[in-house]
Structure 1
Amino acid sequence: MRKLILIRDFLYWFLDTQRLKWPNTAKVLEYILKNESILEKVELVDDIRFYRNALMVSGRGTVTFPFVLRLDGKYIHDVEEALQALASANFYKLYVKLSYSKDYYQGVVSKKRVWKVKRAGKKKKIAYQKLMLLIDAALDRRDREEFYRLTKQLQRLSNV
C-alpha cells in the first residue's frame, strides 16, 4: 500500500512539475492514476530496455524519446492507441520510466525500487530546525546523553 502511495505521489509530482515533450502524453499517466488495477502493476525503473511491458514519458530538456509504450513487445507511439492498449491488455507488471531534467529533483532510489522524491530540501530544513531546538533544550537541561544523541542525528542529517 505504501509503495502504491509513493508511486502515485511521484506520478503526480511529474505531471505537476514537468513540461512534457508531447503534452498529450499526460493523458496516459492520468489514465494510469485513475485506474487502480493498472497503478498496482506499475514499477518505476531507470531503464526500460530489458522489459517486455514498459512505458516511457519524457519531459522537456531530456535527450530521450518523448513517448513510447511497449506491451508484449509491440511498440506504440500514439497516445490514443496507447490508451486503448492499456485498457485491453492483460499484463503482470508495467515498468515505467519518467525522463525529466535532473535539475528538478533531489534524489531518486535506483532500479526496481520505488522512487522517492525529497521535496526540495523542505523536509531536511524542518528536521534540521527541530533538531536544533531539541539540542538547545538538552543544553538548557544539561542533559549530556540527549545532547550527544541529538548531535549525532544532526550530523547524519547533514551528511544526507
Structure 2
Amino acid sequence: MLNKISTLTEQLAQLAISHQLKLVTAESCTGGYISKTLTDLAGSSSWFECGFVTYSNASKETLLGVDNSLLTRYGAVSEEVIKAMCKGALERTTAHLAISVSGIAGPDGGTEDKPVGTVWLGWQLDGLEHTAQFIFKGHRADIREQAVVEALKGAISMIQQKD
C-alpha cells in the first residue's frame, strides 16, 4: 500500500506543478496522514501550502469555520461537513485545491448508520466540488491508509477534469 501511496503522491505532484496549483488539506480521522504523505516528497513546498488537522468538532468550527449547526444536524462524518471543511480551508489559504476527510477509523465510535470504516472525502477546485463516501474494512491503520489512497486518487481526478 505504501508504494501505491508514493506513486499517487508523485502523480499528484506532477499534476499540481504542471497546472500551477497549491493544495491544502483539512483532515480529521487521518490526523495529518495526507499532509505527511504529500510532504514526504522532496520539493512539495512548491505545490503544497498547508494542512489543517481538525480532529475535534470545536477545531472544525474554530480553524475552518464549519457551522456548528452542520455538526449538530449531520455529524462530523457527513457530506455537509466535509464540503464546509474544503470551503473553509480554501478561504483561509491561497491554495487552489482542497482535500477534506472525516470518518470513523475505529475501533470504537461506529453506529448502525455510520459503522466503523465510514469515511467521507471531499475535494474542491475552482468552484467544482466532489464528495464520496466509503465504507473501508480493516483495522484503524488500514482504514486511515485506504482513506489516504482515495484522497490522492480524488485529487488527481479533480485536476485531470480541468484538462
Q: Which has more radius of gyration?
A: 1
TM-score (norm 2): 0.25
Between Structure 1 and Structure 2, which shows a larger proportion of strand residues?
A: 2
